[in-house]
């Protein structure tokens, strides 16, 4: 299964006339139903529990979930602020990422879940980077898109480990 079609949501349409930087997607099938997978994503402030490169995370809003929820995330030496802009309970989460180098105007990371039978979930992450206004920023944004794609693959692996572990625990 290839996952959802690669369409650009309204919130990712570039504001300038240059062609957009292509979004990068990564898909993984997790051997767990969608509910436990979503429950890990929905604990928005607890990404530190399953994302391998995240050293610290904390809620910045109350409640710490839903559209508008924000979290502070420490990744290596960077402190990022991620704010949910789409929250479709059980199936999709998208958030902006602030605190990256200023070569980009906007970064949106999206997670889509799809049930594949009773005990499997296909999860697709898509990172969409809008470059800054100067031409050299396009190259930097394209590089950042690749780096973020690799980071998403690592996060998918961490989500897989955490979701599978919750399935293996005795009741």
Containing domain of residue 83, as a range? 21-168
Q: Is residue 8 part of a domain?
A: no
Count CB atoms within 10 A of the CB of residue 131.
24
How many structural domains comprise the chain? 1
Domain presence at residue 12: no
**Is 25 a domain residue?**
yes
Contact predicate 34/113, CB 8 Å? yes
Q: Is residue 10 part of a domain?
A: no
Residue-by-residue pLDDT tens, the chain, 171 positions: 444 555 555 555 455 566 778 899 999 999 999 999 999 999 999 999 999 999 999 999 999 999 999 999 999 999 999 999 999 999 999 999 999 988 899 999 999 999 998 899 999 999 999 998 888 888 999 999 999 999 999 999 999 999 999 876 555
In a domain, 3, yes or no: no
Q: Is residue 16 part of a domain?
A: no
Q: Is residue 4 part of a domain?
A: no
Q: At what angle do helices 135-168 and 34-42 cross, to 10 degrees?
A: 120
Whole-model pTM: value is: 0.85
Closest by CA to 92, choosing from 31, 41, 145, 44, is 41
CATH number for the domain spanning 138: value is 3.30.530.20
In a domain, 45, yes or no: yes
Strand order in the sheet with 92-98: 24-30, 121-131, 104-115, 92-98, 78-88, 70-75, 54-59
């Amino acid at each position: 299964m290839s996952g959802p079609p690669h369409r650009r949501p309204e919130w990712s349409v570039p504001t300038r006339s240059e062609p957009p930087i292509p979004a990068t997607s990564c898909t993984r099938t997790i051997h767990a139903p969608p509910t436990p997978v979503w429950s890990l994503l929905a604990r928005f402030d607890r990404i530190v529990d399953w994302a391998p490169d995240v050293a610290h995370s904390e809620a910045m809003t109350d409640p710490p979930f839903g559209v508008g929820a924000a979290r502070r995330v420490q990744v290596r030496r960077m402190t990022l602020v991620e704010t949910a802009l789409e929250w479709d309970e059980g199936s999709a989460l998208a958030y902006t990422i602030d605190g990256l180098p200023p070569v980009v105007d906007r970064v949106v990371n999206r997670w889509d879940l799809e049930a594949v039978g009773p005990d499997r979930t296909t999860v697709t992450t898509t990172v969409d980077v809008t470059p800054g206004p100067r031409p050299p920023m396009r190259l930097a944004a394209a590089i950042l898109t690749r780096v973020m794609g690799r980071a998403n693959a690592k996060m998918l692996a961490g989500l897989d480990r955490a979701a599978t572990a919750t399935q293996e625990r005795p009741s």
